[in-house]
A and B are shown apart, each in its own frame.
Chain A
Amino acid sequence: MVAKLITRMCNSAALVGSVLVFHSWVWSQSGATHAVAVRAKGGGGGGWTALATFMVLVGLWSFVARWSSRKKVEA
C-alpha cells in the first residue's frame, strides 16, 4: 500500500513536474546571481528549497486524494 502510494507520487511528480524540476535545477545553478542582496550574504541555490516544497505539496495532495477516494468507496 505504502509502496504503491510512493510509486504513484514519484511517477506523477517526477514526470509532470519535470519542467519544474528542470526550472529548479537551472535556478540553483544561477542562484549566485539571482539576487544581489542574497549574493552578498553568500546565498543562492533556492531552487532546491522550492523543489522540496513542491514535492512535499504533491505528496500531501496525492495522499489526500487517495484517502478521500478510498473513503468514498467505503461509503
Chain B
Amino acid sequence: MDDSQANSTHGQIAFPSKQFLCRVCLTALFATAAHLLPWEGLRFFTSEVTLRLSGLLGMTTSRTAFDTIEIQGNLIQFVVCCTFVELFFGSLPLIWRGKESIVGNLLRVVIFAGAIFGLNIVRLVLLQIAYGHGVPWTLAHDIPVGFAYFAVWVFIWRTRDWPAWQYRSRTCHAVTPLAANES
C-alpha cells in the first residue's frame, strides 16, 4: 500500500517534500533554458526522421525548409516543442538519482533521451498517418501529446528514488520525513 495513502488514512496530511520542491524548481529552470535555445539541428533531424519514415510508409513527402516538411499535401512546421527537448531537459532533475554514481546517472540519461526521442518519432509518424487520413488535428496531434506526457510522468513517478511527500499530523503539526520509496 502507498505510504502516503496509509498516512492520510491515519490522520496525517501529505505535503510535498523539500527535495521534491527543489527538483521541481530545477525542472522549471531546465525547461526554460531549453526553450530559449533554437535547437535548429534537432528540429531538422526530427523532421528528417519523420519525413523518411513517412516516405517508407508510402506517403508522399517533400522538404520545404530546414524545419518544414510536406506530407500528403499538409505542410508541417517543427518548432522547439515538437522535439520534446524541453520535456527531456525538464525531466532530468526528476530522474537524477542522488545515491547513484555520475556514470550510472549519465547512462540513465542517455537511455532516457533515446526513449524520449523514439516516443516522439512514433507520435509524429502516427500523427502523419492519422492527419493524412482526415483525422482532425486535435485528435491526431494534441490528445496523443497528452498520452505521451502521461507515459513520461508514470515513468518518473514509478522510478524515482527521492521522497515526494512529508507528513504533518492534523493535531501537533510535527513533520515526519518519509522513506525514499513510498510507492
Chain B interface, DSSP helix/strand/loop, else mixed: helix
Interface centre among B28, B31, B94 (most CB of A within 10 A): B31
A-B contact pairs, 15 of them (CB 8 A): A11-B16, A12-B164, A20-B149, A22-B86, A30-B81, A34-B77, A34-B79, A35-B137, A35-B141, A38-B137, A46-B137, A50-B146, A54-B146, A66-B2, A66-B5
Total A-B pairs, Cβ < 8 A: 132
Q: Bound state CA distance, A46 and B138, in angstroms?
A: 7
Interface residues of B in 1-49 (CB under 8 A from A): 1-2, 4-5, 8, 14, 16, 20-21, 24, 27-28, 30-32, 35
Residue of B nearest to A35 (CB): B76
Selected from A20, A36, A58, the residue in CB contact (under 8 A) with B68 is A36
Cβ of A27 and Cβ of B81 under 8 Å apart?
A: yes
Number of interface residues of B (CB under 8 A): 46
Shortest A19–chain B CB gap in Å is 3
Partner of B149, one of A12, A15, A17, A30: A17
CB contacts (< 8 Å) of B120 on chain A: these are: none
- Taking A18-B27, A57-B150 as contacts, is the C-beta distance between A50 and B137 under 8 angstroms? no
* Binary A-proximity of B144-164 (CB < 8 A = 1, otherwise 0): 011101101110110000001
* Chain B interface (Cβ < 8 Å from any Cβ of A): 1-2, 4-5, 8, 14, 16, 20-21, 24, 27-28, 30-32, 35, 68, 74-77, 79-82, 86-87, 90-91, 94, 137-138, 141-143, 145-147, 149-150, 152-154, 156-157, 164
